[in-house]
Structure 1
Amino acid sequence: MLFSTTTYATVLVSALAIFGHLTPTVQAHSWADCIDWRFKNPKKLDWSDKGGRCLGYARRYPTGKAFGSLDSADPSRHYQQAGNPNKALPCSDHHHGKDVGSDETRANPPSGAYGGKYGPMTKTRVGNMLCVRWPAKNHAEKNEDDTIVQINFAKREGKDPSQQELLAEQKKNPLTLKYKSCGKATTSDKRPCGGCFKVPRRKPGIYLLQWRWMLNEGEWYTSCADVKIE
């Protein structure tokens, strides 16, 4: 059977359209960008850049980057804990992990990971409300499970606590958020999401706050921040 050039082109375009429709959307993995999000209107929880501003960031979080854009460069913020996630590094060192992520190693002093080209450190008080923001990265769709986000707090002088220590604190003071608490956006990849919680009772000092998200059973992604409780 012979096809004219026009007919062949029509068939090819149709085939490509079908293929494109069937090809799944590339799904990146999320991270926390803002640790202390302040809404312009506290009665309207708008996680978009128009709805508020960030006063405290994750460790070594570069300023001036578009929301949800740190997927493959600057470097990537994806850190997936490798091996047994309950014994893995709680924060990326840019060397270990199934996805190594960017360097979130504790600075000495901790304030060295903030300011200048990085966002400021979070400062708060016991009982205050902290609101944490993250990009959906295509994981807040109707067919996606509403997975959990753990907020883990712990302190160890001179270095970060282990993941096991963080989980021990989580058992004492469980803090979890719903992943799919999101606003609207032009793309599902960059839908802004977030959740709020009260700062648990702690003595004044600098604590590790770990944002820990379970995408699938046993598949955990983390972001780390230093929080100064005054």
Structure 2
Amino acid sequence: MLMRTTVIASAALALMATMAQAHSWADCVDWRFKDKSKPSYRASDGECFAWARQYPVKSGVAFAGLDSYSPARHYQQEPKDFTACSDRVHGREPGADETRQNPISKAYGGKWGAMAVAKAGDTQCVRWPAKNHAVKNEKEKFVFINMPKTLLTKDPNQSQFSKANIAKIPFKNCNDISGDTDRTPCGGCFKIPEELETGTYVVQWRWELNDNEFYTSCWDIAVTGASKPEVGDNSTTVAPAPLGGTTSVFAELAEN
């Protein structure tokens, strides 16, 4: 009896440790609701059209499971340097490679998810897993969407990203899934700045779990902007089609 009690207690402690170590990331960077009047981040209520850099859409891992994948998707910044996008080297918890690729399209298509596309002024929505941090007794923290409004040749550092904040979203903006606080889907929306010129921009999802404890995801977005054609130029600029397709392989696996 004592041995059985010890085993149960050990299992409970292991479960608590797993829950305590569960951290989030941007699962989808262009989530579209099937019914805009009833926004929901459940797989049955929407579809993903774009992902962060080098996101393994063909891994077969269910929604919220990529923290156990290799390399793990969540990335915790190291306060000493706050490397903005995971490079698999820096960080208290190094994540997958989300550095800018050359060309940028190298991070999308094939085994990776599609790149985001939008028009200046569009609203886009991002989805993330709760990972046990959307429970009622946990203090609300926020997700910061950072997007520099200039075309860059390299990723900004964290200070530059933070100065380019365009949205602040409550992390606990989630669909309530009873009994599964790990895989509860959460999300929020932000507006692409209207004044952007046509080009490819970088966006950062940055979640503050505790004071000075941050997790990030980075992606690129091809924007058709407000730039005006020169006099005599009758051409029309069209945003490129998403690279790598648009159907989420997680849809049939998520939240079942």
TM-score, reference length from structure 1:
0.87
Identity %: 45
Out of 163, 170, 177, the position equivalent to 2:169 is 177
Range with bigger deviation, 20-29 or 132-141: 20-29
Shift of 1:146: 1.2
The structure with more radius of gyration: 1
Aligned residue number for residue 71 of structure 1: 67
1:135 matched to which residue of 2? Answer: 129
SS of the residue 2:30 aligns to: strand
* Aligned equivalent of 1:203: 197
Counterpart AA for 1:166? F
- Write the deviation string for residues 145-191 of structure 1: whole angstroms up to 9, x where unpaired: 11010000014532111111111222xxx410010011133521111
Q: Which runs of 5+ in 2 are unaligned?
A: 225-256
* CA RMSD, Structure 1 to Structure 2 (Å): 1.8
**Residue aligning to 2:184:** 191
**More divergent stretch after superposition (154-163 vs 56-65):** 154-163
| Cα contact 2:151–2:199 (8 A) shared by 1 | no
SS of aligned partner of 2:102: coil
Q: In the alignment, what sits opposite 2:120? A: 126
Does residue 1:45 correspond to 2:36, yes or no?
Answer: no
SS of 1:161's equivalent in the other structure is coil
**Aligned twin of 1:112:** 106
Matched position secondary structure for 1:50: helix
Tell me the residue number matched to 1:157: 152
* Number of equivalences: 216
CA contact (8 A) 2:101 2:107 kept: yes
Letter in 2 for 1:13: R
1:214 paired with 2:214, answer no
Q: Any residues of structure 2 matched to 1:2-81 within 5 Å, and which?
A: 9=1, 11-14=2-5, 16-17=7-8, 24-26=16-18, 27=20, 28-64=22-58, 65-81=61-77
The Cα of 1:22 is off from its aligned counterpart by 6.4
> In the alignment, residue 210 of structure 1 is paired with which amino acid?
Q
Which residues of structure 1 form unaligned runs of 5+?
Answer: 1-8
Paired with 2:105 and 2:10, the residues of 1 have a C-alpha distance of: 50
Residues 191-210 of structure 1: per-residue CA shift (max 9 Å, x gap): 11000111123222111110
Cα distance in 2 for residues equivalent to 1:145 and 1:81? 21
Residue 51 (structure 1) shift: 1.1
